[in-house]
């Protein structure tokens, strides 16, 4: 059985944010709070330790009180490079990957992935509509293979998963909680929904 103490939460905040206009998405505000603060709030109850993988505003991220690491490979080679950077400081047998732009992440994400992983090395969330490759519980000992694969030019997340034993764990009916905010329009729409007191993605699940 995988326990909370066996897992380090890895918050992926090192992307270029191209669809957000090139800004650091972690510091985009939603309802008056940066996305990184909301992601930390969702992740903190699930793990004992959080590592933030970022490539900009490092001091600002450090002020959140968690370890901050950067990519070890140049040129923003993708989210798995962020995971590899985090593995430099992860000392637990497992890491839980979470993207910084998912402010309504289910608070039982780790519990469900751990329950569903069985004998596999990777468990990936499926929200009922599609696979969420960056919401994944990954055995930390895969770091050496990940390093070699990235150094050889690998990039697509699921392609690396396919090198290992991985399983899909279903979260049926929770598409709204796995929504991520990629563009200014999506952020503005989310704010309008909240301001209008409409049913938020959390309202039916907490």
Rounded (to 5) percent helix, strand, coil in the chain:
35, 20, 40
> Are 151 and 5 contacting, i.e. CB atoms less than 8 angstroms apart?
no
Q: Give the separation between CA 202 and CA 176, rounded to whole angstroms.
A: 8
d(CA 185, CA 74): 30
Residues 11, 100 contacting (CB under 8 angstroms): yes
3-state secondary structure of 166: strand
Phi/psi of residue 52, nearest 5 degrees: -100, 125
Quote the CA–CA distance of 21 and 17 in Å, as a whole number.
6
Q: Is 195 annotated as a binding residue?
A: no
CA distance 107 to 44: 9
- Is the four-CA dihedral 51, 52, 57, 60 of positive or negative sign? negative
The response to whether 13 counts as a known ligand-binding position is yes
Q: Is 145 annotated as belonging to a binding site? A: no
Residue 150 annotated as binding? no
Q: Residue positions in the annotated binding site for Mg(2+)?
A: 101
Q: Residue positions in the annotated binding site for GTP?
A: 12-14, 25, 71, 101
Q: Residue positions in the annotated binding site?
A: 12-14, 25, 71, 101
């Amino acid at each position: 059985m995988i326990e909370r103490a066996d897992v380090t939460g890895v918050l992926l905040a090192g992307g270029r944010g191209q669809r957000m206009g090139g800004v650091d998405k972690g510091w985009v505000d939603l309802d008056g709070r940066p996305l990184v603060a909301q992601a930390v709030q969702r992740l903190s109850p699930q793990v004992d330790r959080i590592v933030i993988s970022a490539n900009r505003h490092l001091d600002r991220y450090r002020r959140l009180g968690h370890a901050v690491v950067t990519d070890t490979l140049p040129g923003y080679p993708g989210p798995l490079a962020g995971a590899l950077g985090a593995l430099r400081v992860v000392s637990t047998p497992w890491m839980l990957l979470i993207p910084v732009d998912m402010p309504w992440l289910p608070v039982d994400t780790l519990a469900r992935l751990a329950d569903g992983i069985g004998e596999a090395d990777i468990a990936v969330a499926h929200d009922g509509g599609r696979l969420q490759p960056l919401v994944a519980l990954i055995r930390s000992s895969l770091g050496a293979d990940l390093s070699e694969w990235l150094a050889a030019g690998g990039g697509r997340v699921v392609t690396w998963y396919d090198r290992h034993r991985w399983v899909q764990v279903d979260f049926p009916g929770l598409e709204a909680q796995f929504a991520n905010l990629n563009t200014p329009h999506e952020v503005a729409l989310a704010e309008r929904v909240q301001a209008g007191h409409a049913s938020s993605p959390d309202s039916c699940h907490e």
